[in-house]
Amino acid sequence: KVVKTSNGDVDSEAFLDALKWILELNSSTTGNKVDVVSISLASNFYSQEKARVISDLTTSGVIVVCCASNVGRMRLQPISFPARLGHVLCIGAHDENGKPTSFSPVGRELDFLAPGDNIWGPGPGTTGPFAMDCASGTSCATPAVAGLVCLILHAISRLCASDPDEFQIGGTPLIDLVRNVWVMRELLKEMSSSPGHHSEEIGHGTLNPYRVLDRSSEEILRLVDEIIED
């Protein structure tokens, strides 16, 4: 976890070091691996080195989920870096009614909306038995989608463990096929409110995991097979 410095800024070098550490960890032959990275920070400036490392992560099978920004329509390019990269999931925010918030940006890079308005959670600097804080932003929406990605990977991993011969396509285990940002994006589209439509305001819309995870294991296998074939 990379947090802000004492003056409220994100330590850019610490962020880059964290990404490189994940690459090194996943290349190791022992220990746990990282499947999902949630990035709740945004920059107006492109960094070639960060883009390269993030590209290396996605190529290695890590799903990277990024917040879009909180500028609404106030900039010519509202989607910030690294959410602008095509090989990450770009997340905006919706309110309690499923409508885009005023701060959720617009752009062709936007993939999905998730809850990001008045979200309660553990708050830095808060103390006591109810150390909670309320915040809004696409930074709050992004970990919700990252958690959903983890849930999908866990569910498919359990299917593969239950019957390795059944849950494979062309000799490749289903879980290895789903550890791919493009396949994961298509799976999330199946959970979205607008799976066959994309707009700059909502991407593919809000997400409901039950649209996929309530299906039978055979239907999930068939769905991934269709995604791979397309």
Give residue-wise pLDDT tens across range 189-211: 999 999 999 999 999 999 999 99
Encoded tokens for 83? 């959410």
Lowest mean pLDDT among 1-10, 17-26, 42-51, 87-96: 1-10
Per-residue DSSP letter, 74: S
Instruction: Give per-residue pLDDT as tens, 138-189.
Output: 999 999 999 999 999 999 999 999 999 999 999 999 999 999 999 999 999 9
Examine the pLDDT at 126 and tell me if it is beyond 60.
no
Q: Cα–Cα distances in Å, from 195 out to 13, 43, 182, 211?
A: 37, 29, 14, 11
Whole-number pLDDT of residue 194: 92
Of the candidates 187, 181, 185, 182, the one whose C-alpha atom is nearest the C-alpha of residue 221 is: 187
- What three-state secondary structure class fits 222? helix
Residue 81 is which amino acid?
F
Mean per-residue pLDDT, 41-52 = 92
68 in Cβ contact with 77 (< 8 Å): no
132 in Cβ contact with 120 (< 8 Å): yes
Instruction: Give per-residue pLDDT as tens, 61-112.
Output: 999 999 999 999 888 889 999 999 999 999 999 999 999 999 999 999 999 9
Quickly state the pLDDT bin for 28 (edges 50, 70, 90). confident
Residues in CB range of 39: below 8 A, 6 or more apart: 64, 65, 66, 67, 82, 83, 88, 142
- What three-state secondary structure class fits 133? strand
Examine the pLDDT at 5 and tell me if it is beyond 90.
no
Mean pLDDT estimate for the chain: 92
Please give the backbone phi and psi of residue 43, each rounded to the nearest 5 degrees, phi first: -135, 150
User: Which strand (E) or helix (H) includes residue 131?
Assistant: none
Q: d(Cα 113, Cα 36) in Å, to the nearest integer? A: 18
Whole-number pLDDT of residue 7: 60
Share of the chain above pLDDT 70, in %: 93
DSSP string, 11-34: -HHHHHHHHHHHHHHHHSSSS---
Read off the pTM.
Answer: 0.92
Quickly state the pLDDT bin for 2 (edges 50, 70, 90). low
Q: d(Cα 206, Cα 29) in Å, to the nearest integer? A: 38
